[in-house]
């Protein structure tokens, strides 16, 4: 299932998805598995492959908090017939999300809200291949995963449609309509998530949904939901730890952003840089004063730079007659590959380079640590933006050149 990533990516907070919090004390629980059509799941094995010929295992696994470690096997049993029954034992003092995994086969997510849970699995089916009895929370989780997948797929389609319209330079009215459809789809997804987070009686499901909501909620909405869930289940130390971890992550990101802002060129006077063109003519940044200038640092050997070049070409062609131009500054080592890349990528603006790779004067003056990198300079010589990519470049140029 393809997931969306809209905003708030710095706080993806996967720890919320993998949680441990049970409202009642419970040391053990039993999962009875009735499986069928095992032979339909197993493909033909190469002759002599003794390992592949062994009966596959049915595993009951705990998902460690945080998601970094591998699942912990609590119990397992071999499936020796096409149809059979397996009883597995698990341990857990708190309500948690566990997984029932068929070796080289499907995975079922379970919640240990009851002492005895029964799972019927038809290994010959691809969709809707299992049912759960004796666990209200597990069925609620199953329904949530299905509905979330459907709603996420719908949101992804609206994003793809909007992106295609922008690539085709569609009319403003078409883009506005597609944007409204995208926003409505995201709102519908978020409303569904918020409703489930607030109404579920199971902290494990609320937190599972909350973890996914970090992909699409605005930061303020996410924080409110997190605080509300903690208030609803105040006796769980794990929830308090999750909140503390979030606050720590937030502080760390804020510190990084503060440091980044201190190193940013935006709002500063653009340092002058003078390098030679392929013909030997010296060109300086100050010679473009009076125009908006995008200084694009790149190289023929830089894959991401070459992938970004079509976006730069599009922006140049769209705004070159509106007091805007580009100065390409290459970190190439050799002249021929540099000129060939200019021709192949159709970079029809001024280009300079001292052909000194990372020892280039450009690196020393503008202090960047990777390419592609760019700065947008206004007619007065002030840097108004940096590191513009794709649609962000087009959008910023539209703002300053309208």
pLDDT (tens place) for every residue of the chain, 402 residues total: 333 333 333 333 434 444 444 444 457 999 999 999 999 986 544 444 445 568 999 999 988 755 556 889 999 999 999 999 999 999 877 788 899 999 989 999 999 999 999 999 999 998 899 999 999 999 999 999 999 999 999 999 999 999 899 888 888 899 899 999 999 999 999 999 999 999 999 988 988 898 899 888 988 999 999 999 989 988 766 677 778 888 888 888 777 776 666 678 899 999 999 999 999 999 999 999 999 999 999 999 999 999 999 999 999 999 999 999 999 999 999 999 999 999 999 999 999 999 999 999 999 999 998 999 999 999 999 999 999 998 889 899 999 987
Residue 326, both tokens? 């580009």
What SS3 state is found at 169?
coil
Residues 357, 381 contacting (CB under 8 angstroms) = no
CA distances in angstroms from 86 to 89, 101, 135, 250, listed in the order given:
10, 13, 17, 45
pLDDT of amino acid 255: 76
pLDDT of amino acid 18: 42
What distance in Å separates the CA atoms of residue 353 and residue 356, rounded to the nearest whole number? 8
pLDDT of amino acid 13: 40
Sheet arrangement for strand 292-298: 350-352, 324-330, 292-298, 373-377, 383-386
Among residues 87, 79, 39, 33, the alpha carbon closest in space to that of 56 is found at: 79
Cis bond before residue 396 (omega within 30° of 0): no
What distance in Å separates the CA atoms of residue 340 and residue 389, rounded to the nearest whole number? 23
Q: What angle do CA 338, 340, 346 make, to 5 degrees?
A: 105
Residues 30, 104 contacting (CB under 8 angstroms) = no
Give the pairing of strands 383-386 and 373-377.
antiparallel
What distance in Å separates the CA atoms of residue 334 and residue 355, rounded to the nearest whole number? 6
Residue 254, both tokens? 């804020």
| Residue 102 CA, distance from chain mean position | 28
Give the pairing of strands 72-78 and 57-62.
antiparallel
What distance in Å separates the CA atoms of residue 86 and residue 206, rounded to the nearest whole number? 30
Sign of CA dihedral 109, 111, 112, 118: negative
Q: Which helix (H) or strand (E) holds 195?
A: helix 172-199
Q: Give the position of tokens 């997510």.
A: 109
Which residues lie closer than 8 Å to 12 by C-beta, 6 or more apart? 214, 215
Q: Which helix (H) or strand (E) holds 219?
A: helix 219-232
Tell which phi-psi region holds residue 176, choosing left (phi > 0), alpha (psi between -120 and 50) or beta: alpha
Q: How many CA atoms lie within 13 A of 300 on its CB side?
A: 20
Which residues lie closer than 8 Å to 242 by C-beta, 6 or more apart? 15, 16, 19, 207, 226, 230
């Amino acid at each position: 299932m393809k997931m969306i990533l809209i905003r708030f990516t710095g706080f993806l907070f996967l720890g919320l998805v993998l949680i441990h919090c049970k409202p009642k004390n419970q040391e053990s629980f039993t999962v009875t598995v009735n499986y069928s059509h095992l032979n339909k799941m197993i493909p033909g094995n190469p002759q002599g492959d003794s390992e592949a010929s062994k009966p596959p295992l049915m595993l009951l696994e705990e998902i460690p908090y945080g998601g970094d470690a591998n699942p912990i096997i609590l119990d397992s049993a071999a499936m020796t017939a096409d149809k059979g029954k397996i009883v597995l034992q698990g341990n857990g003092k708190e309500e948690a999300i566990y997984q029932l995994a068929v070796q080289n086969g499907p995975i079922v997510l379970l919640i240990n809200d009851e002492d005895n849970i029964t799972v019927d699995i038809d290994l010959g089916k691809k969709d809707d291949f299992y049912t759960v009895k004796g666990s209200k929370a597990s069925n609620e989780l199953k329904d949530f995963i299905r509905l979330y997948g459907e709603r996420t797929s719908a949101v992804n389609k609206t994003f793809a449609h909007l992106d295609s319209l922008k690539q085709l330079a569609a009319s403003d009215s078409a883009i506005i309509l597609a944007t409204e459809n995208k926003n409505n789809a995201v709102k519908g997804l978020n409303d569904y998530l918020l409703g489930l987070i607030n109404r579920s009686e199971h902290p494990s499901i609320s937190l599972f949904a909350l973890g996914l909501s970090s992909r699409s909620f605005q930061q303020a909405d996410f924080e409110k939901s997190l605080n509300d869930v903690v208030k609803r289940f105040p006796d769980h130390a794990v929830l308090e730890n999750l909140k503390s971890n979030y606050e720590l992550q937030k502080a760390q990101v804020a510190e990084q952003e503060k440091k980044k802002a201190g190193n940013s060129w935006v709002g500063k006077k653009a340092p002058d840089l003078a390098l030679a063109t392929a013909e030997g003519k010296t060109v300086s940044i100050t010679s473009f004063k009076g125009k908006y200038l995008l200084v694009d640092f790149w190289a023929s050997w830089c894959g991401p730079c070459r992938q970004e070049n079509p976006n730069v070409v599009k922006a140049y062609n769209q705004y070159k007659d509106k007091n805007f131009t580009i100065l390409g500054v290459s970190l190439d080592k050799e002249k021929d590959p540099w000129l060939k890349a200019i021709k192949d990528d159709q970079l029809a603006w001024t280009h300079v380079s001292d052909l000194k790779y990372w020892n280039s004067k450009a690196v020393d003056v503008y202090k960047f640590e990777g390419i592609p990198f760019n700065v947008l300079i206004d007619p007065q010589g002030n840097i108004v933006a940096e590191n513009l990519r794709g649609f962000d470049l087009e959008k910023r140029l539209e703002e300053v050149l309208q």
